[in-house]
Amino acid sequence: MSFTPVQKINAYEIIVDQVEQAISDGTYGAGDRLPSERQLMADFGVSRATVREAMRVLQATGVIESRPGDPRGPVVTAFSPRVLEKSMAKLAQLDSVSRVELLQFRLLLEGHASLLAATERTDDELAEIARRGEDIADLADQPDVRFGERVNRFHQAIRRASHNQMLEICGNVVGGVMAEMIDRRLTSETDRSSRVRTSAHDARALVAAIRDGRAQEAAAISTGNIYRYYADDLSSEETRRLATMMESYGAQM
């Protein structure tokens, strides 16, 4: 016989749980309106302060949105990756998550996004990918535009064409975090222009591979490009930890 530890639950938590339950069992769906705070206060038999704390939590976790003055009450929001992004960004910036881990994870996501995009993409998506790819080359004449962000948009189009939402969202998060890191670090102009050149070149090759459905090649190009971007800064230990993964994609190191 085992005892389960008693965990005292605050009043506001009960409200949060009930609302989440009501949403997950379909009582409320995206776009529906919750009762007003004053109504909830009567329904749950608690004070308004307690209701408000519960609303704050639901709002912070991306479950509802509320706006002062709207007589229709708080609205149940459709899923948005905002919360996911924030917590993942926090994880990524954490000291305990090393650069290698982040890079490994990114290679993994981008590699497979390219792989899937090569077979799943529609023609419209291919066109969008190609357009974003050309945008990178244009960077050569635009010294003030952020490089990391532009490249990330290219990869974003690929992730979308993978037709896998989990992959897409997670990739967007990690890609966004790393793009920001790049733009914060990139200072030297000569360095920038050389990076623009190689990235634009890789992008064209990648677009071609995706166009022709050469999935493995697409993955190899994609991961190879990302890898080479960071290669200079890596220690030998870090390089070793990436080797197995790069090999699995058949990419050049």
Binding interface with DNA (CB under 7 A):
10-12, 34, 36-39, 45-50, 52-53, 55, 66-74
Residue 172's closest CA among 241, 94, 84, 234?
A: 84
* Binding-site string for a copy of itself from residue 8 to residue 27, where x marks contact by CB under 8 A and - marks none: ----x---------------
Q: Closest approach of Cβ 190 to a copy of itself, in Å?
A: 30
Rounded to whole angstroms, how far apart are CA atoms 65 and 186? 37
Q: Write each residue from 123 to 162 as x if it is in contact with a copy of itself (CB under 8 A), else as -, in one continuous string.
A: ----------------------------------------
Residue 6 found at the interface with a copy of itself (CB under 8 A) = no
Binding residues vs a copy of itself (CB under 8 A):
12, 49, 52-53, 56-57, 59-62, 79, 81, 83-84, 86-88, 90-92, 94, 96-97, 101-102, 104-105, 108-109, 112, 115-116, 118-120, 163-167, 169-170, 174, 215-216, 219, 241, 244-245, 247-249
